[in-house]
């Protein structure tokens, strides 16, 4: 056939978690037992009151088009929620609701960057940052996150990457894939760089509720001067175990709201009406199920960190947030993709290879501990039993 895809499709990547999940499912279809530590979604049910609100909303007829940036009820609930947890004082007119949080990345990148522009993002980092940057025709500029710095940004390294072409700086805390949580001092240093260079920041805080130990969630939005130069990205998937609901939101600088809304109209029209009522119920309802989920994640975190450190050739720092660990596998002598394949095929454990998250991720694996303690123990035992079979 003579037909060809547009050139921009050649630079659009994918998300490795879904690629590995498909391979794991294929092995399961052949009768092999796989323990899933690859996919990043809570293994808990959406709270019952949220589910019931969606059912009630459908029965009440909330099944039609709604305003592109979201229904007033939910935009107001987002503002109250952010204020309730002392995260940000804002107004409903700056909130945009989207089907999932990824569209907020898309909106931010498409609004701000094109050919000749640069977007600075974390490496290792969520693969969509680089993929969408290339899709927009802009140049991705990775800033390294190093294990010796607990996978937190080094302000001096970051500062050296900023140029007059930098249009957007992406920050993610708590972090996927490393589980790192930025400190207050980290956020202040990032804010100083953004202000000095007149740069917009996309602050991806979708894991904000999941921090452990002495770690607390911190954001560049704690600095008042950042309120008009930061796009806050958040959603319901991780905090409320609502991945399949496809619900996210962004809080934009005032001047970006109208063009962002135009992009929403041109792409998805709006987010489903009844799900927005459920989202409001999640924000305004009880917090006990979130706390219970966080407590269980913390127990699993300690379990998997201790277990990985007991496997020859593997070492693992203690993550401060999210539900991922990013162990160092360099002493095994094999690359990350080879070890990932070994564990899937010989230990029945699915995880992700580190370089799927950027060049700095080589020599590491990512495990999600969004699975039961029983399955985590079984996975650790199986990996330990088969690590000696790895071909160097």
* Arithmetic mean of pLDDT, 188-196: 98
Question: Whole-angstrom Cα distance, residue 89 to residue 79?
Answer: 7
Give the residue-averaged pLDDT of 302-314.
98
- pLDDT tens, residue by residue, 82-137: 999 999 999 999 999 999 999 999 999 999 999 999 999 999 999 999 999 999 99
Q: What percent of the chain has pLDDT over 70?
A: 99
At 392 the pLDDT is 56
Q: Is the predicted pLDDT of residue 141 greater than 80, yes or no?
A: yes
**Cβ contacts of residue 342 below 8 Å, gap of 6+?**
334, 386, 389, 390
Q: Which domains does the chain have, with CATH numbers?
A: 8-45+288-386 (3.90.1150.10), 62-284 (3.40.640.10)
Q: Given this model, what pLDDT does residue 19 score?
A: 84
CA proximity to 345, closest of 91, 24, 129: 24
Of the candidates 252, 329, 278, 341, the residue with the CA atom closest to the CA atom of residue 56: 278
Per-residue pLDDT band for 18 (boundaries 50, 70, 90) equals confident
Overall pTM surpassing 0.85 (yes/no): yes
Q: What is the mean pLDDT of residues 63-71?
A: 98
* Across 37-64, average pLDDT: 97
- Condensed to tens digits (0 to 9), the pLDDT of residues 344-386 reads 999 999 999 999 999 999 999 999 999 999 999 999 999 999 9
């Amino acid at each position: 056939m003579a037909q060809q895809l547009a050139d921009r499709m050649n630079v659009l990547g994918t998300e490795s978690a879904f690629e590995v999940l498909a391979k794991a499912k294929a092995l399961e279809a052949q009768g092999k037992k796989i323990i899933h530590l690859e996919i990043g979604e809570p293994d808990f049910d959406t709270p019952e009151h949220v589910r019931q609100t969606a059912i009630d909303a459908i029965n009440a007829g909330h099944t039609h088009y709604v305003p592109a940036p979201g229904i007033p009820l939910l935009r107001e609930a987002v503002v109250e929620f952010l204020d309730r947890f002392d995260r940000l004082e804002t107004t409903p007119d700056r909130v945009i609701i989207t089907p999932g949080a990824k569209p907020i990345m898309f909106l931010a990148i498409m609004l701000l960057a094109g050919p000749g522009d640069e977007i600075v993002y974390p490496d290792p980092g969520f693969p969509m940052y680089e993929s969408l940057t290339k899709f927009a025709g802009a140049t991705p500029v990775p800033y390294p996150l190093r294990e010796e710095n607990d996978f937190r940004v080094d302000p001096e390294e970051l500062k050296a990457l900023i140029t007059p072409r930098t249009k957007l700086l992406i920050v993610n805390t708590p972090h996927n894939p490393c589980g790192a949580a930025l400190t207050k001092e980290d956020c202040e240093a990032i804010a100083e760089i953004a202000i000095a260079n007149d740069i917009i920041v996309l602050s991806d805080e979708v894991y904000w509720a999941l921090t452990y130990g002495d770690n607390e969630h911190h954001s560049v939005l704690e600095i008042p001067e950042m309120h008009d130069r930061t796009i806050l990205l958040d959603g319901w998937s991780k905090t409320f175990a609502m991945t399949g609901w496809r619900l996210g939101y962004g809080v934009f600088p005032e001047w970006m709201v109208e063009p962002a809304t135009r992009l929403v109209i041109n792409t998805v029209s709006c987010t489903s009406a009844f799900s927005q009522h459920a989202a409001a119920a999640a924000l305004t309802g009880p917090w006990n199920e979130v706390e219970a989920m966080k407590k269980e994640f913390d127990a699993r975190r300690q379990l998997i960190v201790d277990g990985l450190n007991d496997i020859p050739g593997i070492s693992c720092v203690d993550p401060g947030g999210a539900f991922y660990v990013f162990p160092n596998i360099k002493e095994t002598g094999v690359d990350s993709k080879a070890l990932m394949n070994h564990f899937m095929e010989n230990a029945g454990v699915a995880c992700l290879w580190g370089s799927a998250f950027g060049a700095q991720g080589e020599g590491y694996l990512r495990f999600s501990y969004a699975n039961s303690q029983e399955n985590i123990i079984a996975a650790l035992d199986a990996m330990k039993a088969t690590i000696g079979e790895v071909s160097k």
